[in-house]
Structure 1
Amino acid sequence: MTASDAPAFCVHCGQPTSGGTDHPACHNPRTALEPPRYCTFCARRLVVQVSPLGWTARCSRHGETASR
């Protein structure tokens, strides 16, 4: 991953992160269990599907991610 590929936005609120670290306002135990809502690269709203086995989140520009 290069510097231009580094995540620049919080996955929970879509606000810019500072220095590529977690967004401090959204770093709490409750949000750690939630699926992402915003793309980390472009801050677009994600299409999220939650199932009993996990979740998938899709950005129209950067593709799909899934829970592990």
Structure 2
Amino acid sequence: MSQKFNVYTGEPEGSPGAQAVSTAARLGLEPPRFCAECGRRMIVQVRPDGWSARCSRHGELDSIDFEERR
């Protein structure tokens, strides 16, 4: 599955806005805020051991799953 949208900005991949990512996000310190498939804002819950994010259309993603995809 290829990602269509930047998970930190919500901009389509390849657009100039998708490149403007904070340093914390580039270092992996921020959870994704937007769905990679549709670009919608996700509901994000930060926990002491990681985070979970839920897209209303594409389901839930957990920090454990996200690390395996990197």
Same fold (TM over 0.5): yes
Q: Select 1:30's aligned residue among 24, 43, 46.
A: 24
**Could you list the runs of 5+ residues in structure 2 that have no partner in the other structure?**
65-70
**Could you list the runs of 5+ residues in structure 1 that have no partner in the other structure?**
none
Following TM superposition, where does structure 1 have runs of at least 4 consecutive aligned residues deviating by more than 3 angstroms?
Answer: none
- The number of residues matched between the two structures is 60
Cα RMSD between the aligned structures? Answer: 1.6
Percent identity over paired residues: 51
Aligned to 1:47: 43
Q: Deviations over 1:28-64 (max 9, x none)?
A: 5411210000000001100000110110000011000
Distance, in Å, in 1 between the alignment partners of 2:20 and 2:6 is 9
